[in-house]
Structure 1
Amino acid sequence: MKTPTKVIRTDKWKLNPSSGQKALLSETVKVYRQACRYLVGIIYTHWSELGGLTADALTPAVEQLMHQTAKRPNIKYPQFNKAFYKFPSYYRRAAIAFAAGQVSSYVTRYSEWQSGNRKRKDSKPPLLNADTGCYPALYKGQCYKLHGFDQVEIKVFDGKNWIWTKVQITSLRERHACTTNKMMSPSLIVNDRYCHLSVPFNCKPEKRKPEANVTAVDLGINTTATIAVVTHTGTVIHSEFIHPGRDIDRRDKRLKSVSVRASKTMGKGGNIHKGFCSLTYKKCQRINNQISHIVSKRIVEIADQFNSEAIVFENLKGWKAKGGRKRSNLKQRFHGWLKAKIRDFTEMKWTELGGKVVEVVAAYTSKLAYDGSGTVKRDSRNYSLATFPSGKRFNADLNGAYNIGARGVLKLVRRNSNEGRSSKRSGRPPRSWACLCDLWVKANSKLA
């Protein structure tokens, strides 16, 4: 029996602390990081003894080295209690877990480097980074207390003692409202720009009873995503085009400014320095993430609305951009194609609802007419239009979405899929190149 995949998702709960509370929260993070740096040194020194222990056994083993109690007066590192007086036990255990993870990662990477497993022959050995930008994990009852979902009480350091302070929660998402979701220990994120709780949830979706249909997605350049909801009998019950043009224009305008600045910097020759226009590229990357989230959210909404059995994508792994005519920007446009991001974000959102994602062979999805009449011909002036052998003009992306949906249905119906095998009948394309008309034939044969 297949073990169900564990689905962990994180919500951001924004906090609205006063200036005094913000200082207390910042001081708490600062002290926590200092403790983590101290513990990294201790754990690395004794890693030969600690490395083989389980996570549950490692924490008490580290505490025996640095935490003094009435039953344990003599310890090897008494400086920790002096430097971090009355440090809360649950903050200490969270710091130990984080420091052990840092050391374990370093030891593994260094062993791989020593064994010759390197990206380059002249790669330098990894470094043990004890000065990390970590944030404290909060344990319920000991480090934080929820007062409804409007306020949270957090244990903070005021420079001398650990006290409780109540902070207002200004905004949060909906995962806490789902009864099947289990809230885990949040992290306190405080810096110059943000102040919020990063709250992970162990999501356990309810068992679905889907309808006999799939939501097919054709990812393109002219239209970001074309959706078609296809039933097992080949009926298209919904179609939709998703194209956040305003965000795409914002991204392309910034990328265009990079080439203009590069030409002014280099002139007729020369090189640009490393990190050239890095801030612009980061901004474009954030816009791409926003576009992917907008598109994937809408795809999942459609699949949920029609209670689809699965969301179907083309398998585009390993696909590489090819240039078009001379001086065309086709290759550049392909580099802005968010096929991987949209697919991954969609799978994350859909899995949380208990759905599954199916991939089908991408060959000839847009090239074959969905009605089985043959190969389509693209319009030279408007590439999004296709002409069928019968003379019918149709949207090329929508035609592709129909065929993707048909292949997804056949893949779900046939447990032992014949992907990649050629048909025994001469003159017929491989069975994985199915079209929407194949579902019609199958439905009619059942009725006959």
Structure 2
Amino acid sequence: MQIISSYGVELRKQNIPIRQTLEIYRSAVSYLIGIYVQVWEELAEIPDAKRRFNAAEHLVHTTKKNHACFDFDIRFPKMPSYLRRSAIQHALGTVSSYKTRLDLWEKIDGKSGKPKLVYENHAMPVFYRDVMYREGAEGKDEAYLKLYDGHDWKWSCVRLDHTDMEYLRKCWSGKKASAPTLEKRHRKYFLRFSYKEEVTLTKTPVKEQIICSVDLGINTDAVCTIMRADGTVLGRRFIDHPSEKDRMYRTLGRIRRFQREHGSAQAQVRWAYTKRLNTELGKKIAGAIVRYAEEHHADVIVFEYLEMQGKISGKKKQKLHLWRKRDIQKCCEHQAHRKGMRVSRICAWNTSRLAYDGSGAVTRDWENHSLCTFQTGKRYNCDLSASYNIGARYFIRELLKPLPATERSLLEAKVPPVKRRTSCVYADLRELHLQMEILKVA
């Protein structure tokens, strides 16, 4: 399996013509979009993507054997060839997307808004190695970029952030990075490097697997349980970052007070800072989950399939809006795959509502929402009970899936709750494993 990882290295402030380079590149893309939308019928007849690109380049670039039909070379003189080809590719993709959306709009009789071709774009250039980008001396935090200074394309030395470069040397030394792409975030410019890795995901049989079942929450960031196929619990951990959440909630309080006095129009900077805190919190949660799974040599990390639709209401409305559940799972999936672990998801219905011991629905504690009471009178952590049920549902599904229909029907008759996956709990996995052992002996 191929894994692509990327990392952005900040360009330190100095007198380099980044803005002029961006302006001329985006102007070139806009000009090319206007050309290709005129001749798209001719280009669309070429099925092969490579031949279509060559035909598009011949329309705008003059060589010894080709005379261009448009004055692109006059408008943008001395533009590096790789940068020109990047602009052509971006323009072709924009026009192709517009034509596809227009055809779909015409098929539905124009009921929705008509698609528009956007000429003003936010394209970012790729600095191809040797011709647009050169690495600095070994051990130095610098690089050389070919930039447009308003008159000509010249090599400029740029300083790179020392912390970012130390990370790349430590974690990615010996691995070749792709051509860096320029990007802008929070009014700062970055060079984003991509790395490709070939990894082999674990192929451990289900009965020998060790899983890490994760219940993502709002009060507690995550509750992890290490479990075997027979229901043996090898470890439990509550992952929480109270100081980070406290800092974020403090900034939310400041935003509320500010908006009460000045309105919401001037609070964008404060909201941007809060969103960055929330993003960083999600990354910390994902890293903690993967590290814990790796400590116990887990083969699979199991999450709930969380999908919240409709209008969110109630006193926890803001917390739910800031809950980065999908981003945490996505980040965990990427990190887990790099380490050879798989990621699986199960249905989230009733994982928290039903007690893990099979006693039925639980009653939440109104004073402490993380605690609940079972029907037997037992007090337990609701998130921990849910993580047991998440792991159990994964094993029940994977154990029953490869069995023949007759054997599966026999086991479902002996353990009726496993017929309906949304009502399975940890106790059902224990009972299913016992019945499978009895059936094996018989």
Q: What TM-score, normalized by structure 1, do the two folds share?
A: 0.81
Structure 1 gap segments, 5+ residues each: 266-271
CA distance in structure 1 between the partners assigned to 2:148 and 2:78 by the alignment: 10
Q: 1:413-436, CA deviations, whole angstroms, 9 ceiling, x for partnerless residues?
A: 333599xx9954698575523333
1:295 alignment partner AA: I
CA distance in structure 2 between the partners assigned to 1:176 and 1:100 by the alignment: 39
- Choose which of 99, 103, 110 in structure 2 pairs with 1:107: 99
**Counterpart check, 1:155 vs 2:149:** no
CA distance in structure 2 between the partners assigned to 1:426 and 1:215 by the alignment: 24
Count of matched residue positions in the alignment of Structure 1 and Structure 2: 423
Q: Cα gap change, 1:303/1:98 in structure 2, threshold over 3 Å: closer, same or farther?
A: same
Q: Cα gap change, 1:52/1:231 in structure 2, threshold over 3 Å: closer, same or farther?
A: farther
- Choose which of 133, 141, 156 in structure 2 pairs with 1:165: 156
1:9 alignment partner AA: S
Q: Cα gap change, 1:9/1:301 in structure 2, threshold over 3 Å: closer, same or farther?
A: same
CA distance in structure 2 between the partners assigned to 1:424 and 1:84 by the alignment: 75
Q: Secondary structure at the match of 1:103?
A: helix
Cα RMSD (Å) = 3.5
Q: Cα gap change, 1:331/1:161 in structure 2, threshold over 3 Å: closer, same or farther?
A: closer
**Counterpart check, 1:252 vs 2:276:** no
CA distance in structure 1 between the partners assigned to 2:125 and 2:254 by the alignment: 41
Q: 1:174-217, CA deviations, whole angstroms, 9 ceiling, x for partnerless residues?
A: 59955996633221236893232112233322343667211111
**Counterpart check, 1:369 vs 2:355:** yes
Q: Secondary structure at the match of 1:138?
A: coil
Corresponding residue number in structure 2 for 1:220: 217
Corresponding residue number in structure 2 for 1:347: 333
Q: Cα gap change, 1:181/1:437 in structure 2, threshold over 3 Å: closer, same or farther?
A: farther
Corresponding residue number in structure 2 for 1:50: 43
Q: Secondary structure at the match of 2:349?
A: coil
- Choose which of 4, 7, 10 in structure 2 pairs with 1:11: 7
2:105 alignment partner AA: W
Corresponding residue number in structure 2 for 1:145: 134
CA distance in structure 1 between the partners assigned to 2:215 and 2:291 by the alignment: 16
2:299 alignment partner AA: E
Corresponding residue number in structure 1 for 2:344: 358
Q: Secondary structure at the match of 2:293?
A: helix
Identity of aligned residues (%): 30
2:277 alignment partner AA: I
Q: Secondary structure at the match of 2:5?
A: strand
1:35 alignment partner AA: A
1:127 alignment partner AA: K
Q: Secondary structure at the match of 1:183?
A: coil
- Choose which of 104, 107, 128 in structure 1 pairs with 2:117: 128
- Choose which of 383, 390, 394 in structure 2 pairs with 1:397: 383
Corresponding residue number in structure 2 for 1:302: 292
Residues 396 and 418 in structure 2, CA contact (< 8 A), matched pair in contact too: no
Q: Secondary structure at the match of 1:201?
A: strand
2:68 alignment partner AA: I
- Choose which of 48, 65, 80 in structure 2 pairs with 1:88: 80
CA distance in structure 2 between the partners assigned to 1:130 and 1:345 by the alignment: 34
CA distance in structure 2 between the partners assigned to 1:180 and 1:406 by the alignment: 42
Q: Secondary structure at the match of 2:187?
A: coil
Residues 417 and 428 in structure 2, CA contact (< 8 A), matched pair in contact too: no
CA distance in structure 2 between the partners assigned to 1:355 and 1:295 by the alignment: 17
Structure 2 gap segments, 5+ residues each: none
Residues 175 and 201 in structure 1, CA contact (< 8 A), matched pair in contact too: no
Corresponding residue number in structure 1 for 2:21: 28
Give 1:306 shift. 2.2
Give 1:285 shift. 3.2
1:293 alignment partner AA: K
1:16 alignment partner AA: R
